[in-house]
Structure 1
């Protein structure tokens, strides 16, 4: 018989269990931590001394003190002390310090990275997969330095944004 959930290891009630409220409250505390999580910062190794109930952090790679043994975990302070959740691939948190999302890819936390196949704004695709490189104009019968300069700047901007490869 399973005594915890398979993904987030939330405690389950057992038939005939005494003090069911303890198990139930622990599960609710962990759910409060993982549902739409917001963390104060990512990668801290030392627990803050002034944590308030409801605040959370992503533990660093070499944790100390109360966080020892919980590297890379989601750590939340509750009235009952620290609660930890081992991240699963795809866990995304709002990183208050960086003002963007941080995501666990199954190996490491990444902050501010957006993985997508395309970007749609108001129903219109504005960014898609990278296209092959574009060669800059070279040679020809008529040399138009202003046009070449403008084309060069456009191609450079597209390369800087990663929309086309270097040619």
Structure 2
């Protein structure tokens, strides 16, 4: 803000909205079309070939506020929690999700304790939202 700036509250309000959306980002999911009745504070990742208010904002985070849609371009490494997916998504040029590796199977020597431990680790990472089940 500048000392003689008019409408300082606008600058402050926009900054608070950006902080609210980007500090602990949670999205409802991915949508190419804006939802009909979003609630203030709800966010979506804009899907490819966005339409309506989402047109031209592919891969950005769209946040609904009383003033309308606000769009935020992700930086490489950005992470969001996707409510619909129940897991994290991360941005590396496109929005991606981590998928759990396959549990170890087969082999010439069966080590049940190691396999059991690896399966438990995969299960915990999936339950915590690090890995996606789909």
TM-score range, shorter chain: 0.7 to 0.9
Residues 1:85 and 2:88 are matched in the alignment: no
| Structure 2 portions without partners, runs of 5+ | 101-105, 120-134
* 2:26 matched residue in structure 1: 38
Q: Which residue of 1 aligns with 2:90?
A: 103
Q: Distance in 1 between matches of 2:109 and 2:95?
A: 35
Partner of 1:112: 98
Q: Do residues 48 (structure 1) and 35 (structure 2) align?
A: yes
More helix by share: 2
Q: CA RMSD in A?
A: 2.4
Q: Distance in 2 between matches of 1:78 and 1:46?
A: 17
Structure 1: stretches of 5+ with no match in the other structure: 1-12, 115-149, 162-167
- Matched residue of 1:101: which SS? strand
- The 5-angstrom pairing of residues 7-156 of structure 1 reads 13-42=1-30, 44-105=31-92, 107-113=93-99, 151-152=107-108, 154=110
Instruction: State which structure, 1 or 2, has the greater radius of gyration over its C-alpha atoms.
Output: 1
What is the TM-score normalised by the length of structure 1? 0.59
Please give the secondary structure, in 2, of the residue aligned with 1:110.
Answer: strand
> Aligned residue for 2:128?
none
What do residues 135-162 of structure 1 show as CA deviations (whole Å, max 9, x unaligned)? xxxxxxxxxxxxxxx744849xx7xx9x
Count of residues in Structure 1 that have an aligned counterpart in Structure 2: 109
